[in-house]
């Protein structure tokens, strides 16, 4: 076998040859856009054209091949307009057209692998198992959709031998914080399968909602699935999955070789369950289903009744989900309630357990043993390592990667899903047009660079690394389009990190294969993010103010940026951006990145540069104040589904810094903001929320220069009547300032009421003509 490097070089060389050979042929595009990149691929002579007259052939009685064939036929019809029949007439020697067959002798390295050949006679897919055939079909579909057009397509000759790097290639979706319809779940599962991902970790219960019907305990969903959102119209927010819907979804996933790992979170994140059945809780009182994101205090108690309840729940969970692994959470369970409860303390003593962390271990092990008795395995978040990891447990490492290292060293199987890299609720660019989410920016490149196996592990320990997954937490992802924006194309980067051999992964090569994937997304109706290819524009005014130097950037390192300055859409013939250029105030710059083949890679971004727009700053131009963290970009109301408005907030400090802005000729400020729900479970950090003295009842926005302790140049009373979701504009003028300064804007609003948030700051110029230019 050739080394990976030489295979790569050979691939490139032959690719060039086949491109030249195919010149003038049907759809001669670049490198075959298979994502994730196969383990081995070599380009061969010849090519094959699939037309509307083609058929997909499978051997009679080869059920796995027939299933894969039908999946391919369906996908091709949807995305290429080719309706190919599936015929069960493939003899062992059959060649030509598309042939899919189970083949115990297929030379794949391991389970889920496949061999795919394209030559002048046709396309052949062989595999030892059903998953391998399915993945072969997914690769074939990608080869047959190299561009956005419909109808006949020519595939270059090649030999692909492919298998996954890890058995756990996952995606987690939080259906508790926001609820997704079954159809949305199915669409996500379908897309996962098309990325060769095979584990869907379904976060079904949390403080803000219990989403799984349990026949024995109907109140879990009658009460626990509904919450009363702040600032809403009085209608409860919620929803749940009936057992019939779950069975459907599980079958839909299984047909795509995806295992669904359900998560029932315990002993923390239990507030919705306790709201339904207060006797499961510690205090005996009934809380509301939570409306606060973060860490809430409600824990399950540790008595026999509650342990029995959870076992009964697991019975129904196991009945619905055939997965070997069942996830029992274990995260963020602050122990306050257990610490002050005489009953819990008595139980702890009678069990001979030394502290609450060890009590959590005992709790989790009760579940672990119960699952083991039923032939299942327990997995939990890395907090289950605290207080002694239960012997039967596997660990999902989220607080960085140390949990995975520790657990693997102790001989436990682990799955990597570290925050912030694999937390897709983080935004993916600094652009102001990104929707709500967490504000640690995790770009496509940073997800791509993720390495599942820590170099700190020995080869023996690394055998415990099952794989990795990305997590879609949905506190701020309220609608399908937001989930899709967060997931795509970072899911492509994840797929390559968990499927492709480590030494075959190259970001530039990956980026070159993405445009074809974007075409598939459009065909499939997936609202992907173009953030990695979007053009960001920064303008800098000359001293005299008569010229503006505009700099254009995009994350994609190799993308060609083209732009116009006359208001027209940039096309393949527009000026290529090479260095910052000068424009006169009042000019609109429109820019977009292009692939080598002349196709645009993103939506056109346009911006008019004049005195007014340049002195108007949105969240993307704001930073945290010293010692703070603008950690979140939140919508106007907790369940809002529109892209705007959004507000970057520091819930601890309510403070924003605008770095180095020229105050020459600036005579005042106008701030567009809103009152937001202060719906955060801050647990032990609650005491750290900064409270400032206010002079008026709703507090003020204070403007300081140079630092937050620097001179105050304006103070604007905030409007009273601070209902969450109400927007406002406040303004002030000030005595002339000179030079460039950091500007600090802080809020003195009372920390018990709504959260004051600023969305846009406009510096008002005293030179009227300048604003008009």
Q: Which residues bind ligand TNX (CB under 6 A)?
A: 331-332, 381, 398, 425, 473, 475
Q: How far is the CB of 428 from ligand TNX (least distance, A)?
A: 16
Closer by beta carbon to ligand TNX, 72 or else 384: 384
Q: Tell me how far apart the alpha carbons of residues 560 and 85 are, in angstroms, rounded to a whole number.
A: 41
Closer by beta carbon to ligand TNX, 473 or else 609: 473
Q: How far is the CB of 501 from ligand TNX (least distance, A)?
A: 29
> What are the φ and ψ backbone dihedral angles of 666, each rounded to 5 degrees?
-90, 130
Q: How far is the CB of 473 from ligand TNX (least distance, A)?
A: 4
Closest CA to 55 of 72, 41, 43: 72
3-state secondary structure 455-471: CCCCHHHHCCEEEEEEE
Closer by beta carbon to ligand TNX, 398 or else 763: 398
DSSP H/E element including 397: strand 394-397
Query: What are the E-state strand segments in 610-751?
Result: 616-618, 632-635, 646-649, 655-662, 666-676, 680-682, 700-705, 712-717, 727-733, 740-747
Q: How far is the CB of 399 from ligand TNX (least distance, A)?
A: 8
Closer by beta carbon to ligand TNX, 331 or else 639: 331
Determine how many CB atoms are found less than 10 A away from the CB of residue 710.
14
3-state secondary structure 298-337: CCCCCCHHHHHHHHHHHHHHHHHCCCCEEEEECCCCCCHH
Closer by beta carbon to ligand TNX, 583 or else 624: 624
Can you say how many angstroms the Cα of residue 136 is from the centroid of all Cα atoms in its chain? 26
Decide: helix, strand or coil at residue 147.
coil
> What are the φ and ψ backbone dihedral angles of 605, each rounded to 5 degrees?
-105, 135
Q: Are 712 and 744 contacting, i.e. CB atoms less than 8 angstroms apart?
A: no
Q: How far is the CB of 466 from ligand TNX (least distance, A)?
A: 17
Closer by beta carbon to ligand TNX, 156 or else 681: 681
Q: How far is the CB of 285 from ligand TNX (least distance, A)?
A: 23
Q: Tell me how far apart the alpha carbons of residues 16 and 28 are, in angstroms, rounded to a whole number.
A: 11
Q: Are 328 and 383 contacting, i.e. CB atoms less than 8 angstroms apart?
A: no
Helices 356-373 and 342-350, axial angle in degrees (round to 10):
70
Closer by beta carbon to ligand TNX, 398 or else 675: 398
User: In 438-506, which ranges are continuous DSSP H helix?
Assistant: 444-448, 459-462, 480-487, 490-499
Can you say how many angstroms the Cα of residue 527 is from the centroid of all Cα atoms in its chain? 13
Q: Are 648 and 630 contacting, i.e. CB atoms less than 8 angstroms apart?
A: yes
Distinct helix (H) and strand (E) counts, the chain: 19, 39
Q: Tell me how far apart the alpha carbons of residues 758 and 750 are, in angstroms, rounded to a whole number.
A: 16
Helices 130-143 and 182-194, axial angle in degrees (round to 10):
80
Determine how many CB atoms are found less than 10 A away from the CB of residue 130.
17
Closest CA to 519 of 546, 498, 488: 488
Q: Tell me how far apart the alpha carbons of residues 329 and 307 are, in angstroms, rounded to a whole number.
A: 15
Closer by beta carbon to ligand TNX, 320 or else 328: 328
Q: Are 510 and 500 contacting, i.e. CB atoms less than 8 angstroms apart?
A: no
Q: Tell me how far apart the alpha carbons of residues 236 and 225 are, in angstroms, rounded to a whole number.
A: 9
332 is catalytic: yes
Assess whether the previous peptide bond of 420 is cis (omega < 30° from 0). yes
Q: How far is the CB of 220 from ligand TNX (least distance, A)?
A: 19
Q: How far is the CB of 470 from ligand TNX (least distance, A)?
A: 12
Closer by beta carbon to ligand TNX, 299 or else 602: 299
Query: What are the tokens at 469?
Result: 């997954």
Closer by beta carbon to ligand TNX, 168 or else 499: 168
Q: How far is the CB of 619 from ligand TNX (least distance, A)?
A: 19
Taking phi over 0 as left and psi of -120 to 50 as alpha, with beta for the rest, 627 belongs to left
Q: Are 365 and 310 contacting, i.e. CB atoms less than 8 angstroms apart?
A: no
Q: How far is the CB of 37 from ligand TNX (least distance, A)?
A: 29
Closer by beta carbon to ligand TNX, 131 or else 295: 295
**Catalytic residue selected from 332, 356, 504, 702:** 332
Query: What are the tokens at 548?
Result: 């503006």
> What are the φ and ψ backbone dihedral angles of 192, each rounded to 5 degrees?
-55, -45
Closer by beta carbon to ligand TNX, 8 or else 203: 203
Closest CA to 275 of 198, 334, 220, 348: 220
For the stretch 432-456, what's the b/e string if a residue is b when 16 or more beta carbons lie within 10 angstroms of its beta carbon?
A: bebbbbbbebbbbbbbbebebbbee
Q: How far is the CB of 290 from ligand TNX (least distance, A)?
A: 11
Closer by beta carbon to ligand TNX, 190 or else 475: 475
Q: How far is the CB of 395 from ligand TNX (least distance, A)?
A: 12
Please give the C-alpha separations between residue 195 and each of 35, 135, 136, 479, 682, in angstroms, as whole numbers: 7, 9, 12, 22, 36
Q: How far is the CB of 423 from ligand TNX (least distance, A)?
A: 6
Active-site residues, by number, are: 332
């Amino acid at each position: 076998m050739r080394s990976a490097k030489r295979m790569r070089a050979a691939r490139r060389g032959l690719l060039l040859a086949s491109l030249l050979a195919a010149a003038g042929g049907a759809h001669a595009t670049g490198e075959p856009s298979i994502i994730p990149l196969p383990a081995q691929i070599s380009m061969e002579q010849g090519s094959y054209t699939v037309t509307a007259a083609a058929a997909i052939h499978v051997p009679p009685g080869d059920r796995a091949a027939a299933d894969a064939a039908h999946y391919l036929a369906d996908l091709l019809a949807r995305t290429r307009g080719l309706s190919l029949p599936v015929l069960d007439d493939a003899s062992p020697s059959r060649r030509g057209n598309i042939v899919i067959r189970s083949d115990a002798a297929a030379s794949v390295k391991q389970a889920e692998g496949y061999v795919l050949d394209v030559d002048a006679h046709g396309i052949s897919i062989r595999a030892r198992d059903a998953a391998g055939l399915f993945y072969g079909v997914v690769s074939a579909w990608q080869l047959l959709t190299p561009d956005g057009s419909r109808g006949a397509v020519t595939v270059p000759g090649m030999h692909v031998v492919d298998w996954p790097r890890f058995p756990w290639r996952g995606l987690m979706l939080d259906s508790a914080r926001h609820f997704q319809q079954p159809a949305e779940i199915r669409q996500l599962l379908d897309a996962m399968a098309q990325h060769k991902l095979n584990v869907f970790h379904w976060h079904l219960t949390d403080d803000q909602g219990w989403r799984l019907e349990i026949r024995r305990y109907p109140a879990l969903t009658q009460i626990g699935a509904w919450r009363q959102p702040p600032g809403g119209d009085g209608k409860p927010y919620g929803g749940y999955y009936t057992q019939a819907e779950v069975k459907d979804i599980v079958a839909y996933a299984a047909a795509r070789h995806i295992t669904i790992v359900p998560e029932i979170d315990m002993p923390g994140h239990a507030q919705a369950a306790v709201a339904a059945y207060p006797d499961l809780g510690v205090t005996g009182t009934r809380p509301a289903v939570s409306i606060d994101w973060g860490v809430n205090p409600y824990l399950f108690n540790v008595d026999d009744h509650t342990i029995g309840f959870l076992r009964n729940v697991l019975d129904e969970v196991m009945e619905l989900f055939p997965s070997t692994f069942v996830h029992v959470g274990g995260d963020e369970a602050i122990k306050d309630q257990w610490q002050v409860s005489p009953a819990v303390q008595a139980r702890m003593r009678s069990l001979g357990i030394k502290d609450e962390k060890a009590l959590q271990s005992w709790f989790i092990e009760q579940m672990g043993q119960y699952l083991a008795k039923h032939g299942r395995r327990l997995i939990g978040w890395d907090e289950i390592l605290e207080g002694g990891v239960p012997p039967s447990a596997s660990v999902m490492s989220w607080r960085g990667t140390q949990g995975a290292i520790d657990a693997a060293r102790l001989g436990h199987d682990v799955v990597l899903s570290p925050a912030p890299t694999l937390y897709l609720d983080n935004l993916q660019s600094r652009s102001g047009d990104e929707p709500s989410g967490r504000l640690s920016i995790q770009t496509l490149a940073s997800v791509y660079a993720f390495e599942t196996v820590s170099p700190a592990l020995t080869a023996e320990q690394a055998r415990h690394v099952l794989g990795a997954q990305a997590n879609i937490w949905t506190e701020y992802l309220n609608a399908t389009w937001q989930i899709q924006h967060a997931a795509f194309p970072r899911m492509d980067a994840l797929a390559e990190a968990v499927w492709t051999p480590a030494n075959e992964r190259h970001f530039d090569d990956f980026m070159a294969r993405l445009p074809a994937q974007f075409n598939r997304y459009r065909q499939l109706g997936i609202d992907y993010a173009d953030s990695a290819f979007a053009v960001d524009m920064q303008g800098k005014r000359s001293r005299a103010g008569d010229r503006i130097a505009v700099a254009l950037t995009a994350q994609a390192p190799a993308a060609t940026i083209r732009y116009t300055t006359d208001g027209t859409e940039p096309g393949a013939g527009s000026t290529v951006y090479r260095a910052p250029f000068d424009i006169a105030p009042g000019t609109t710059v429109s820019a977009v990145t292009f692939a080598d083949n002349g196709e645009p890679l993103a939506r056109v971004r346009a911006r008019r540069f004049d005195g007014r727009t340049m002195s108007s700053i949105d969240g993307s131009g704001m930073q945290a104040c010293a010692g703070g963290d603008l950690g979140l970009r939140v919508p106007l109301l907790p369940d809002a589904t529109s892209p705007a408005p959004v507000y970057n907030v520091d819930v601890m400090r309510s403070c924003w810094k605008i770095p180095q802005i020229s105050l020459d000729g600036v005579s005042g400020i106008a701030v567009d903001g809103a009152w937001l729900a202060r719906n955060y479970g801050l647990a032990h950090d609650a005491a750290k929320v900064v409270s400032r003295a206010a002079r008026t009842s709703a507090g003020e926005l204070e403007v300081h220069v140079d630092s937050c302790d620097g001179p105050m140049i304006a103070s604007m009373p905030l409007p009273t009547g601070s209902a969450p979701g109400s927007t406002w504009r406040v303004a002030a003028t000030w005595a002339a300032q000179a030079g460039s300064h950091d500007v600090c804007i802080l809020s003195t609003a009372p920390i018990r009421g709504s959260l004051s948030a600023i969305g846009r700051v406009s510096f008002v110029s005293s030179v009227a003509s300048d604003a008009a230019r």
